[in-house]
Amino acid sequence: MKLNDRLIGILAILGGIAIISGTFGFREIPGQQFGSAFFPRIIGVVAMLAGLVQIFTANGGPAVTIPAELRGRGVFVAAAVLIGIVLWILLAPLLGFLLITPLLIFTLAMIMGGRALPALAVSIGVTVLFYLIFSSLLRVPLPRGMIEGWLL
Amino acid sequence: MTVLFEALSLVFTLQVMGTILTASILGIIIGAIPGLTAVMGVALLVPITFFMDPVPAIAAIAALAATAIFAGDIPGALMRIPGTPASAAYVDDAHAMVKQGRPERALGLSMMAACFGGVMGVLLLMVAAPMLARFATNFSSVEYFWLALLGLSCAAIVSQGSAVKGVFSLLFGLWVASIGIDEVAGQPRFTFGSIELMGGVSFIPAMIGMFAVTEILRNATKPRAVPETPRFGPVFKGLGQNMAKRWRNLLRGGAIGSLVGALPGAGADIAAWVSYAVAKRNSATPEAFGKGHDEGIVEAGASNNAALSAAWVPTLVFGIPGDSITAIVIGVLYLKGLEPGPIIFIKTPELVYAIFIAFLIANLLLIPLGWAVIRTSRHLLRIPASYFQPIILASCIIGSFAINNTVFGVGIMLVFGLVGWLFEENGIPVAPAILGIVLGNMLEFNFVTSMLKSQGDILIFVQRPVAVGLCLAVMALWLYPAFKWWRGRRLA
């Protein structure tokens, strides 16, 4: 998704304003000139200035351009990747690592055009490998669920 | 001398040597697969190094980066898709050579050049870093402020494309660095009421998002056909003679790469482009460049690996990263409780030398591993993306989770992946943002400390000779785009 260069400049100015307005609630230390708000305010001011430069030096064009690869299957695959991450975040604490991870790998492999049997083998093999490395070797408390409950 | 022996005993253990070998093999595979870059490989390796001792952790990163940068030449040569941005400068030459039926020559040359350049860069690192560190022990917060600003300015302005967009990226990184409790005043900033954000944005998930998730999204939207791969002849046949003929290019590439890499904020890709241009200008046959000529491959191939090693000079000596990979290294050093700077040269010199030795070993490993990967590249290029992309996504998720053992890290990864993808789509470079995240606190801390020392007198920033020199360098960097714009208008 390509935004118009002037629009990027406007967004930078808005971002600068947002950062500066976010600093007004900061507590000041009496007698200290350079408190918590000082540095973010500099960032905000520079963002606004750079945004102005961008607006005046940029070329025109449509506000938003959707490139060709995002019109067809590409957008579907990219959305699947993003939704996959969100579902992992939401479901991992419920289902456990050993169930959600192979599901994610298998589904994405199928969406990306893989075949069922290799996808199944890859998803289970990789999950077990990751589990061995991170849980058994490095002692990371990966999210536990049903399968972990049966196994361990 | 005892320091050197201590360093050798730190490196030549089964654990460290095994780690270096494993990381090198991983790096060479990641670099050889089109669409997987050296930075992405490092980003995915970091969560595992998180659990290691400092020497194997840093050695693993150094080894993976060195081999991945070389292996990036393989898809570049065979498919005209550079595996890493650092291979882009000479991709036309290498691909033309492959089309002429000499794939083993193109890849053999770039392998030897990479090894040679890498070793030159390490030698510079070994000589220059301790000397600079001795000099840097006299630096105060003022010099560190200017150094941080110089590194950030280089990253934003020297980056390819528009300088203003580089600045946007940098500001985003600096803002992200300011999230969390302010160290000086104890004031929470931009935490949006989240307790998880109180400690700041976790660096590793952010970086995995920006470098790895972004690439998965890009690869997902731009599917590629499986390439036709050519037949290879013997890699080493006639290679020695070819290299001997190009010794000038090798030396010059290694030297220029080392210098560019040692600049804070400028890394392997810029070094490769500069060296390619220099090779063309000094060549007897500049018209042959881009059509399968070997001079550019040798010179720029040596240059990018030299830059990769030399980028560790400002990283270790000043704590200012030379490129995205060393920015990640700084994050790792802090996590390990090792604050980069001249002090680690004094307190733990054996650690620094151990890192140098690990680097040297990784660069020497390039020849056997490079040969092996050239022989097997036909098969590596045929691995369908539909299987390795989901695996990489899974390792991104686990890596982001494992740092703090919360799904919040995975959320951070997702947000930064989307931001990085939007940045790339709009021609905004990602590297300045990462440098901003890493250096933001150092910049602010040194600024505030200096101002407190001088009781608000801004002149403290130009009262010491080194500070004045650094200040002039920063100003020259910022004035350069304005000058270019003004000259462009006048000529038009």
| pLDDT in the model for residue B78 | 81
Average pLDDT of the segment spanning B109-125: 90
| pLDDT in the model for residue B302 | 92
Percent above pLDDT 70 for chain B: 97
- Half-sphere exposure (CA, 13 Å, Cβ side) for B238? 8
Q: Is residue B448 over pLDDT 80? A: yes
Q: What is the DSSP string of B239-306?
A: HHHHHHHTHHHHHHHHHHHHHHHHSTT--HHHHHHHHHHHHHHH-S-GGGTTSS-HHHHHHHHHHHHH
In whole angstroms, give the CA distance from residue A6 to residue A103. 43
Least confident of A12-21, B73-82, B217-226, B431-440: B217-226
| pLDDT in the model for residue B223 | 64
**Searching chain B, which residue's CA lies closest to the CA of residue A120?**
B387
| pLDDT in the model for residue A10 | 93
Closest CB to A1: pick one of B385, B411, B422. Answer: B422
**Cβ contact (<8 Å) for B168 and A8?**
yes
Residue A78's contacts (CB-CB under 8 Å, 6 or more residues apart) are A70, B217, B220, B221
Q: Give residue B252's pLDDT band: very low, low, confident or very high (50, 70, 90).
A: very high
Mutation test of the interface with chain A: which of B49, B53, B152, B189, choosing the one with the most A Cβ atoms within 10 A?
A: B189
Interface of A with B in 85-124 (CB under 8 A): 85-86, 88-89, 92-93, 101, 104-106, 108-109, 112-114, 118-119, 122-123
Whether the CB-CB separation of B260 and B270 falls below 8 Å is answered with yes
**Searching chain B, which residue's CA lies closest to the CA of residue A108?**
B390
How many cross-chain Cβ pairs, A to B, lie less than 8 Å apart?
A: 167
How does the average pLDDT of chain B come out, rounded? 86
State phi, psi for A3 to the nearest 5 degrees.
-90, 155
| pLDDT in the model for residue A46 | 95
CA B303-B112-B155 angle, to 5 degrees, is 20
User: In whole angstroms, how far apart are CA A82 and each of A25, A114, B41, B401, B415?
Assistant: 34, 19, 20, 16, 10
Q: Is residue A83 over pLDDT 90? A: yes
Q: Cβ contacts (< 8 Å) between B452 and chain A: which residues?
A: 32, 34
Whether the CB-CB separation of B90 and B300 falls below 8 Å is answered with yes
Q: Give residue A106's pLDDT band: very low, low, confident or very high (50, 70, 90).
A: very high
Q: Which residue has the tokens 């990479």?
A: B114
More confident residue, B368 or B98: B368
User: In whole angstroms, how far apart are CA A75 and each of A103, B220, B292, B329?
Assistant: 21, 8, 37, 34
Q: Cβ contacts (< 8 Å) between B391 and chain A: which residues?
A: 105, 122, 126
**Cβ contact (<8 Å) for B221 and A74?**
yes
Burial class of residue B112, CB neighbours in 10 A (0-12, 13-18, 19+): buried
Q: Which helix (H) or strand (E) holds B106?
A: helix B103-136
Tokens found for residue B97: 């050579």
In whole angstroms, give the CA distance from residue B52 to residue B33. 27
Within 10 A of B46 (CB to CB), how many other CB atoms are there? 23
- Tens digit of each residue's pLDDT (9 = 90 or more) over A20-47: 999 888 877 776 777 788 889 999 999 9
Amino acid identity of A125? G
Average pLDDT of the segment spanning B437-446: 88
Residue B280's contacts (CB-CB under 8 Å, 6 or more residues apart) are B286, B289, B295, B296
Q: Give residue B299's pLDDT band: very low, low, confident or very high (50, 70, 90).
A: very high
Q: Is residue B453 over pLDDT 70? A: yes
A135 CB within 8 Å of a chain B CB: no
Q: Cβ contacts (< 8 Å) between A70 and chain B: which residues?
A: 221
Percent above pLDDT 90 for chain A: 51
Q: B181 pairs with which residues across the strands? A: B188
Q: Is residue B244 over pLDDT 90? A: no
Q: Cβ contacts (< 8 Å) between A122 and chain B: which residues?
A: 387, 390-391
- Tens digit of each residue's pLDDT (9 = 90 or more) over B131-150: 888 888 888 889 999 988 98
- Tens digit of each residue's pLDDT (9 = 90 or more) over B205-237: 998 999 899 988 888 877 666 666 677 777 777
Tokens found for residue B390: 């989901």
In whole angstroms, give the CA distance from residue B413 to residue B202. 9
Q: Cβ contacts (< 8 Å) between B414 and chain A: which residues?
A: 82, 85-86, 89
Tokens found for residue A47: 């963002």
Q: What is the DSSP string of A87-132?
A: HHHHHHHHH-HHHHHHHHHHHHHHHTT--HHHHHHHHHHHHHHHII
Mutation test of the interface with chain B: which of A83, A140, A142, A144, choosing the one with the most B Cβ atoms within 10 A?
A: A140
Select from B224, B221, B215 the least CA-distant residue to B418. Answer: B215
Tokens found for residue B184: 């000086």
In whole angstroms, give the CA distance from residue B303 to residue B301. 5
| pLDDT in the model for residue B93 | 86
**Cβ contact (<8 Å) for A36 and B221?**
no
Within 10 A of A120 (CB to CB), how many other CB atoms are there? 16
- Tens digit of each residue's pLDDT (9 = 90 or more) over B9-41: 988 999 999 999 999 999 988 888 877 788 889
Average pLDDT of the segment spanning B110-139: 88
Q: Cβ contacts (< 8 Å) between A141 and chain B: which residues?
A: 405
Between strands A2-3 and B180-181, the pairing is unpaired
A56 CB within 8 Å of a chain B CB: no
Query: How high is the ipTM of this complex?
Result: 0.93
CA A39-B146-B202 angle, to 5 degrees, is 50
Q: Is residue B160 over pLDDT 70? A: no
**Searching chain A, which residue's CA lies closest to the CA of residue B403?**
A140
Average pLDDT of the segment spanning A62-73: 74
More confident residue, B103 or B471: B471
Q: Is residue A68 over pLDDT 80? A: no
| pLDDT in the model for residue A48 | 96
Average pLDDT of the segment spanning A77-104: 94
Residue B70's contacts (CB-CB under 8 Å, 6 or more residues apart) are B28, B31, B110, B111, B114, B115, B301, B305, B366, B370
| pLDDT in the model for residue B39 | 86
